[in-house]
Structures are given as structure tokens and as C-alpha cells.
Structure 1
Amino acid sequence: GEGDLVVVLLGWLGAQHKHLKKYAEWYNSRGISAMTFVMPMPDLLSLGVIGKADRHVDLLYAEIKQWLASGGRKEKSVLFHTFSNTGWFFYGALLEKLQQQGQQHLTSRIKGCVVDSGPAAELSPQVWASGFATAFLKKQSFSTQSLAGLTDAERAILAQPSASETLLLAVLEKFFAVLLAVPAVKLRLARIISILSSKQPRCPQLYIYSSADRVIPASYVEEFMDLQKKSGYKVSCFDMRISPHVDHLRSFPALYHEQLEKFFQE
């Protein structure tokens, strides 16, 4: 019923609350309240150790717990809509928190999870470098360029990063190769990936991704979906084919909304 369900929108790296507004508005139009959360770039780097990232997780955990308890006898539920690996890891850190706090019973109140432009369920320096480069460069990054309506020749040009972006990617890749090998960081992130791989709530999952994604290749997403299906999860998906990373709603609004509608009806 109206007011019994809230969607938690977990933004991509570099996202601001205003970027999640269109998603929240669509849910609101369906009588679903929306909470939006974004993680500043420097804070994400502290996810492997106890730092600012965990404070964001604690705040969100407290807010969700309070909301679920506010229904009294009326049981309230929550839906997650995550973007890129940042939103997905944030979701995993929340599930980890529920388990640590002995609140596993609350996972039965999670009714579904929509994953937009993800995940890459391995610690890949290339994926992390690509994500940070895109967040730094924003619309200047080659990974944000849409391929819609272009000739094959134009697509070939856009498929290559500029010299400055190539340099930035090389520097970031070296940085993440070191950071992701730090034992504390590696252990924490591996634990979150393990929870997301085998201890997710038994609710339906929808993956909206793209073969043209240059940040998280479609093969990563498809590999993870196969793993979830084999583990008995109900998985649905849609490949947007030519829209860039976290740009599917802007590129194809009607198609995006159609996937969400279908997911809810099922």
C-alpha cells in the first residue's frame, strides 16, 4: 500500500542528490517514498578501513532501521536501487552492518534490488581507475559519450580516450593496484563482495546495464547475474546496448521506466 514501501537510491561515484531526483520522482509517482544517498569521492577510499565511508553507512543504517520500525503493527518494506559499483558496495556494506548488529530478520523486509550499471564483483584496478577517471572528468570523459545515432566511424573515434585521459587512467590504475592490495582494504572489500555474492536477501534482482559501458564491461555484470541465478535468486535483466555508464535513464527514459514497471509487476 501507499507509504508502506521506501526505495533507497544509492548513487554512483561523483553523483549528487540532484542527479538522483528523476529516479526519486518516478518512484514518488508510484506512491513510493524515496531516500537518496551519495558518497563523496574521498570518503569512498576509506571503505576498506574504519573511516568516513562507514559513518555514511551507519547514518543510512540508522535511518532505514527507524523507518522500518515506524510502521507499528503495519509492516514496512524497503527496496534498493544502486548505481555503479559505488552504490552496490554501499548496499553490501549495509547488509554487512545488518548482520553485524544481529538484525538479519530485517533482510526479509528488503523486497527487491535494482542494480544500474554494475556490478564488477572483483577487485579490478582497471574498473576502479575507470570509475574515478569518469568521476573526475565528468562529461569530458570518453566513457560518458553516447553512441546513439552515430556512424561506425564516429563510434570508433569515441571509443578511444584522449591522451590526457589515457595518462590519468594509467596513474589511477597504478594507484588502485597498490591500494586494493593493502590487506585491510582487500579483506574488507572481499567480505562485502562475498556478502553480495552469497548472502543477499532472497528477493528479486533487476540488472540494467549496457554492452557499451566503458566503466564496467557487460561481461562482469553477466558473469555475476549467472552466479546469482545458479544460487537460486530470481534475476531479470535488460541490456540497453548503446547507452553509457549510469546514463540509461537519460538516454532511454521510456525503456528504463518500462523495465522498472515490469520488475514491480512481477
Structure 2
Amino acid sequence: MEDDGMDYNIVFPDALISERHWHGTKEPVVILLGWAGCRDKHLAKYSSIYNEQGCVTICYTAPLKTVFVSESFGYKELSNTAHKLLEILYDYEVENSPIFFHVFSNGGFMLYRYIVELLHSHKQFSTLCIVGTVVDSAPGSGNVRGALRALTATLGPKINVMLRCVLLALFAVTVFLLRVVLYPITKYIHKNHYDAIREHPPTWPQLYLYSRADRVIRYSDVELMVKTLKEKGVSVESFDFKTPAHVSHFRDFPEEYSKRCLDFLTNCMKDSTVQIKKRHLIQH
């Protein structure tokens, strides 16, 4: 569907399936934020993990130019996107349901960063009941080589070789100057997604799934994020799949990946049951 220029997909489960899995409790709404260049058919495979468990799912992937250009130059276009995405919950009248995020790579994490900021500061959105987040292959920080690999994969083989070289060179220079060399200064104007979440993390439980073989996101960046959040008192779990390439954990280990995500969602729902029931009683 396209709403206010946003191309997203929303799926509502069969009522009987939801009842069987959630026993009268409001079924979770799972918001999946795709990696840069992610296609609908790819995200749909992850969405089905939750649909089969009776969850509502909303899938959205930020445009390439927003992820690779706007963010690189410090233009906070994704902040507006985050606002529109949360408004969808009200459009479909699911704002009182438990909300769960599944975030992929830096492309998804950049958008997630602005969602977290809105949930912290926006009066309307601060009442949403967020139960947890799964983060897949993210976040990374200041890794120009990894960013170039991500852009190369995103551009694909069909683009003209000369044009590819020019785009990669411009991107590398921009990222290196603004996000590495000048970052001690530019961070006061536009802090990167990694530092923003480290300094003001979400308070709900989080599960980080990553791989030491990832050539786009350094595993050490993920582990440092997990360590920092734990030190801040956030409930955080993590798992290293060790061998898969970037955002390939589900492809290589479908059963284990699905089980870890669903077990985590179930535990998050159990932990938040009391809070959800209290809100439900107040609203009625």
C-alpha cells in the first residue's frame, strides 16, 4: 500500500489463529524495517514468521537515497518517515495493541533510531505499548568499507560500470569526511544512529542477532552496543550465528532463527501482560 508517499505492506491474521496463539490478549503488531535495497518478497518471508503466529505485520523499507544520501549529509528525512510510519498504527486502529519491532541492517536501524526518539519525546506516540525489538545484522558505526560493500550489493550488477565507480567514489569520500574525519564536529549537528541509540537507548527488551562472518557490519560494533545497553540497565540478549553473510541468518538457519525470534516475542509478551491488561481496563 502507498500512504503519503510511503510504500508499505500490512497483513492482518485470521482471527482464529490470533485467538489460538494469544488467548484473548491483543495480538502483537510487528513492524519490520528492511535493509537498504530490500525487496518486498524478501521481507515477506520474515513477515510470515509472525503472521503464522497470529500477529499483525507492517513491512517497510526506507528508500535508498534516504539511507545512503540523506543520512550521509545529515539531512533528517527519516525522522518524517518515522512519524508517518507510527501514524499508520492509528490509521488502522491498532495503536492499543502491543508493538514489536524487527529491524534489519543499518538501513532499518537508521529509521528505528528516529522511531525511538519519537517514542521518547512525542506526546501521542509515548503512550504506545512497545514490548521488544529484534535487531538483525546491525548496528555498525564508522565502517566505510562495510558501507561501500552494502552500497555495491544494493546497486546490483546491471548498473553501468563507470557510473558505479563514480557513485562509490563520491559516497566513500562523503562518508569518510562527514562521518569519520569531521564527525567530532558534525556530531553536534547530526549524531549518527549508533551513538544516538547508545546514549539514549529504548527501555524495552532487545535481541541482537549477528554473525562474525558479516563483511558489512562488524561483529565488534554489535557486541559493543549490547555491552553498553546492558551497562545502562536495558534487558538485552544476543546471539552470534558465526557463519552467515550479512542479513543471511534466516536463509542459513531458518528453523533456529524463527524459534529465537518467536521465543523472544513470547517472553516479551509475558513480561508486558500486566501492563497491557492495566491499559485495557483503563480504556474500558
- TM-score, with length taken from structure 2: 0.72
Note the C-alpha offset of 1:191: 6.2
Question: What corresponds to 1:222 in structure 2?
Answer: 223
8 Å CA contact retained: 1:3, 1:31? no
Going from structure 1 to structure 2, the CA distance change for 1:41 and 1:184 (only over 3 Å counts) comes to farther
Question: What corresponds to 1:155 in structure 2?
Answer: none
Number of equivalenced pairs: 236
Q: d(CA) in 2 for partners of 1:206 and 1:11?
A: 16
Going from structure 1 to structure 2, the CA distance change for 1:254 and 1:70 (only over 3 Å counts) comes to closer
- Which residue of 75, 97, 114 corresponds with 1:93? 114
Question: What corresponds to 1:17 in structure 2?
Answer: 40
8 Å CA contact retained: 1:127, 1:215? yes
8 Å CA contact retained: 1:96, 1:192? no
Q: Which runs of 5+ in 1 are unaligned?
A: 140-164
Q: Superposed, which structure 2 residues align to 1:228-239 within 5 Å?
A: 228-239=229-240
Q: d(CA) in 2 for partners of 1:222 and 1:182?
A: 22
- Letter of the 1:46 counterpart: S
Once the two structures are superposed, what CA deviation does each residue of 1:68-105 show, in whole Å capped at 9, x if it has no partner?
x546xxx4110000000111110111122334433463
Note the C-alpha offset of 1:237: 1.4
2:30 is the counterpart of 1:31: no
- Which residue of 46, 49, 57 corresponds with 2:75? 49
Question: What corresponds to 2:174 in structure 1?
Answer: 175
- TM-score, with length taken from structure 1: 0.77
Question: What corresponds to 1:78 in structure 2?
Answer: 99
Q: Which runs of 5+ in 2 are unaligned?
A: 1-21, 159-163, 268-284
Question: What corresponds to 2:27 in structure 1?
Answer: 4
Going from structure 1 to structure 2, the CA distance change for 1:124 and 1:103 (only over 3 Å counts) comes to farther
Q: d(CA) in 1 for partners of 2:112 and 2:89?
A: 12
- Say what the alpha-carbon RMSD is for the aligned residues: 3.1
Note the C-alpha offset of 1:240: 1.1
Question: What corresponds to 1:130 in structure 2?
Answer: 149
Going from structure 1 to structure 2, the CA distance change for 1:70 and 1:13 (only over 3 Å counts) comes to closer
Going from structure 1 to structure 2, the CA distance change for 1:229 and 1:100 (only over 3 Å counts) comes to closer
Give 3-state SS (helix, strand or coil) of 2:156's partner: helix
Q: d(CA) in 2 for partners of 1:41 and 1:76?
A: 30
Give 3-state SS (helix, strand or coil) of 1:190's partner: coil
Q: d(CA) in 2 for partners of 1:183 and 1:220?
A: 18
- Which residue of 72, 91, 106 corresponds with 2:127? 106
Q: d(CA) in 1 for partners of 2:90 and 2:187?
A: 28
Identity %: 30
